[in-house]
Amino acid sequence: MRWLAGVTVAGLAGLAGPAAAQLDQPGSISMLRGGGTWQPALFVCDGIDRDRVLVVSAPDARRRAMLTALAKPGLATASAPVRIGEGDAGMSQVYFPLLAADGRAVGNIHTVSPGVVNPGATTPTVTSVTYRDDTMNCRFAPQTRVLGATLKRSVQVTATPRTGYRYRSYDYDTNLPRIAQDFGGRDTRASLTMDNGRLVDQRGGRRVYEFRNGGFVYRVFASVDVAKGGGGVQVWQSGRLIQTEPFGAYTAAIAP
């Protein structure tokens, strides 16, 4: 992965530090799978104009974190150590500098104020990440319940005021043009959209959203328990499970 050429894969830092309180959305969790285990993250940025997903681990007390890139498709990973600097606030937005170990600026994280997101932000309001002079815009929508990345596609579930939950998937083998979104949202045209979804299970810190499309039933599931990470998409037909795609990284709102 040329974008992080020359760096090595490393573990995620623990949850701590003042930067986490500003970047994190307390009503959601973000998780990254690596080395066979799930680790908590600060946020997940699903690129709408780059072929990757970016995940920043929760910073430690010295604001040190790992920036991990997952390639689309396949989710091959590469990571680089960074330090998250103090936020520089502007009009309804904050830029958090990304620093190298020697203190050099190597990029930034751009967030919008949750207060300007209508009808409300339920996941981290990160809209772009810049690293080594390359800026990647992040998929973001108000009232997101799940945003996850599988080997083949990204999947987003949002709550709507009239049509229940909405499912959108974004296939990695398709060129999907960007589209305009209100209230600071960032998105592309979806490969598949389904409305009228239902929350069918929320036991044990797990959220399961169900959607029907012809003779197929789609279930998007995600754990909101940081000690039990996991999630993905299942497709059922005539009561039989015919396809499962687990997430490699995801963000999920705790509120159903």
Would you give the distance in Å from CA 149 to the centre of its chain?
8
Q: Tell me, what's the pLDDT at 20?
A: 42
Q: Tell me, what's the pLDDT at 15?
A: 33
Q: Tell me, what's the pLDDT at 180?
A: 78
Q: How many CA atoms lie within 13 A of 94 on its CB side?
A: 20
Q: Tell me, what's the pLDDT at 238?
A: 97
- 78 part of a folded domain: yes
Q: Tell me, what's the pLDDT at 205?
A: 95
Would you give the distance in Å from CA 123 to the centre of its chain?
8
Q: What is the domain count for the chain?
A: 1
The pLDDT profile of the chain, 256 residues, written as one tens digit per residue, is 444 544 433 333 333 444 344 477 789 999 999 988 999 999 999 999 999 999 999 899 999 999 999 999 999 999 999 999 998 887 788 999 999 989 999 999 999 888 888 888 999 999 999 999 999 999 999 999 999 999 999 999 999 989 999 999 999 999 999 997 766 678 999 999 999 999 999 999 999 999 999 999 999 999 999 999 999 999 999 999 999 999 999 999 999 8
Q: How many CA atoms lie within 13 A of 197 on its CB side?
A: 28
**Beta strand 249-253 pairing with 28-34:** antiparallel
Q: Tell me, what's the pLDDT at 4?
A: 58
- 218 part of a folded domain: yes
- 25 part of a folded domain: yes
- 87 part of a folded domain: yes
Cα three-residue angle 30-31-36, rounded to 5 degrees = 180
- 145 part of a folded domain: yes
**207, 256 Cβ separation under 8 angstroms:** yes
**145, 209 Cβ separation under 8 angstroms:** yes
Is the Cα torsion angle 66, 35, 22, 167 positive or negative in sign? positive
**181, 141 Cβ separation under 8 angstroms:** yes
- 129 part of a folded domain: yes
Domain that holds residue 244: 19-253
Q: Tell me, what's the pLDDT at 71?
A: 98
Q: Tell me, what's the pLDDT at 184?
A: 62
- 39 part of a folded domain: yes
- 4 part of a folded domain: no
